[in-house]
Amino acid sequence: MHHFSYRDGLLHAEDVPLTRIAEQVGTPCYVYSTATLTRHVRAFADAFSGLDAMICFAMKANGNRAVLRLLTGLGAGVDVVSGGEMALALAAGARADRIVFSGVGKTAAEMTAALEAGVHQINVESEPELEALDAVARGLGTRAPVAIRVNPDVDAATHHKITTGKAENKFGIEWTSARRVFRRAMTLEGIALKGIALHIGSQILDLAPFEAAFLKVRDLVALLRADGVTVERLDLGGGLGVPYRHGDNAPPPPAAYADVVRRTVGDLGCALTIEPGRAIAGNAGVLLSRVIYRKEGVTKAFAIVDAAMNDLMRPALYDAEHEIWPVREAPRDAERALIDVVGPVCESTDTFARDVSLPPLVTEDLIAFMTAGAYGAVMANQYNGRPLVPEVLVDGDRFHVVRRRPTMEEMGSLEDTPPWLE
Ligand SMILES: *Cc1c(COP(=O)(O)O)cnc(C)c1O
């Protein structure tokens, strides 16, 4: 469910017509809905009520400061995957004791920053990282609160570029080594072992892989406890999917996901963490864009729009498809034609949609790429000399530019000419 809908023939974000945002902010720009973000966090909180569970928003899905402020204000913690994200989360007002630090390759500097900030938990993904964290913590005269990420070797049945829980993936500690590594962690003075972490992938549309992974974790808890290992916490990761296209199978709602958690690991006496990213932010955002040209090729028609792969990388990176809605609602009986929707960047992969059926689009028409609130703006870059795409947050009938478009001077401000080329 989201709060983007047609009213009086115009697509609105909550009570604001997208035409107004396009006029005032220019295109392309991302538009986020406060009501949708709020609804999703509350859905997770309600689903997990009665369980000792912390909901940590995975900010790599959407790291905008205003979005983080909104979500943390509603009680969410934050899952970060780098020292940079941790610093940004703290700057957004997140409480350190509600931050989980994940990621496969933390440097000693990042570990130091995390321990000095006092984060809730550091999720360790390999033996060398465990030893390094032990050394850093001892150096600081402290003990690092740690969960060890295991790789349960389950197939999340999602796109191969976003699956993380198979044995061949780089994430976590292999299942077969888990017991040994946990026992080792118990002996390290700089490590306060808290429990187990896992994250099996993203855009998962079926509960079966979660259930399989959580049941494996349940077995592991029993084995570890028999070994005398402390398991007080389980961090179950994120991964719940969102519908990208009309007619996609609806992903399970948070309540159904929570039922699986309850049934599989709910009785182990562990404090739980979950790390949803996409499920909270995905359909809370759209990328607003304007048609520059309509081009009739020999075999195809193209709408060339002012958003490009540098603004929204998912189609180029993961073959993702985003529904495209015209901002001006087409009449029900409007003629439709097959068209490719492409950006102006000099790459063939700068293609948002091939042969989509859309009402005729002409120069100046506004369109919205739907479900662009997760893994959208965070991945944007300046390829082809294109300024970083702005972001707008809507709340009811008001909106605010929460990241502005940089000026050309700002875009080049980090570069410098060596004296011999002056
Ligand atoms: C990416 C990631 C998440 C969030 O995944 P979603 O599919 O967006 O829910 C959670 N935890 C970890 C460790 C991640 O890397």
In whole angstroms, give the CA distance from residue 72 to residue 53.
Answer: 15
CA 279 to the chain's CA centroid: 8
- Quote the tokens at residue 53: 């569970």
**Ligand 1 atom with minimal separation from the 164 CA:** 15
Percent of the chain whose pLDDT exceeds 70: 99
Q: How long is the chain?
A: 422
**Ligand 1 atom with minimal separation from the 281 CA:** 8
pLDDT for 285 beyond 90: yes
**pLDDT score recorded for residue 57:** 98
Average pLDDT, the chain: 95
Tens digit of pLDDT for each residue in 157-194? 777 776 677 767 777 888 889 999 999 999 999 999 99
**pLDDT score recorded for residue 297:** 84
- State in Å: Cα 83 to ligand 1 middle: 16
Q: DSSP readout, 152-166?
A: ------S-GGGB--S
Domain total of the chain: 2
**pLDDT score recorded for residue 134:** 98
**pLDDT score recorded for residue 214:** 97
Q: Which range is least confidently modeled, 87-91, 128-132, 159-163, 312-316?
A: 159-163
Average pLDDT over residues 28-32: 98
pLDDT for 414 beyond 90: yes
Hey, is 319 helix, strand or coil?
Answer: coil
Note whether 212 and 339 are same-domain residues.
Answer: no
- Cβ of residue 165 lying under 6 Å from some atom of ligand 1: no
Note whether 168 and 148 are same-domain residues.
Answer: yes
**pLDDT score recorded for residue 175:** 86
**pLDDT score recorded for residue 167:** 67
Note whether 258 and 319 are same-domain residues.
Answer: no
Note whether 170 and 75 are same-domain residues.
Answer: yes
**pLDDT score recorded for residue 332:** 87
**pLDDT score recorded for residue 176:** 86
Amino acid at position 210, single letter: F
pTM over 0.75: yes
Domain range for 325: 4-31+282-411
- Cβ of residue 237 lying under 6 Å from some atom of ligand 1: yes
Residues catalogued as catalytic: 346
**pLDDT score recorded for residue 26:** 98
**Ligand 1 atom with minimal separation from the 102 CA:** 13
- Cβ of residue 61 lying under 6 Å from some atom of ligand 1: yes
Helix ranges restricted to H, 96-164: 108-117, 127-139
**pLDDT score recorded for residue 171:** 78
**pLDDT score recorded for residue 91:** 97
Single out the residue in 279, 307, 329 at which a domain terminates. 279
In degrees and rounded to multiples of 5, residue 27 shows phi and psi of -120, 155
In whole angstroms, give the CA distance from residue 392 to residue 284.
Answer: 12
Note whether 269 and 293 are same-domain residues.
Answer: no
Average pLDDT over residues 232-261: 93
Note whether 295 and 146 are same-domain residues.
Answer: no
**pLDDT score recorded for residue 225:** 97
In degrees and rounded to multiples of 5, residue 5 shows phi and psi of -155, 160
Note whether 289 and 221 are same-domain residues.
Answer: no
Note whether 198 and 166 are same-domain residues.
Answer: yes
pLDDT band at 195 (very low <50, low <70, confident <90, very high): very high
Residue 237's CB is within 10 A of a number of other CB atoms, namely 29
In degrees and rounded to multiples of 5, residue 157 shows phi and psi of 55, 45
Beta bridge partners of 150: 173
Tens digit of pLDDT for each residue in 74-120? 999 999 999 999 999 999 999 999 999 999 999 999 999 999 999 99
Note whether 8 and 43 are same-domain residues.
Answer: no
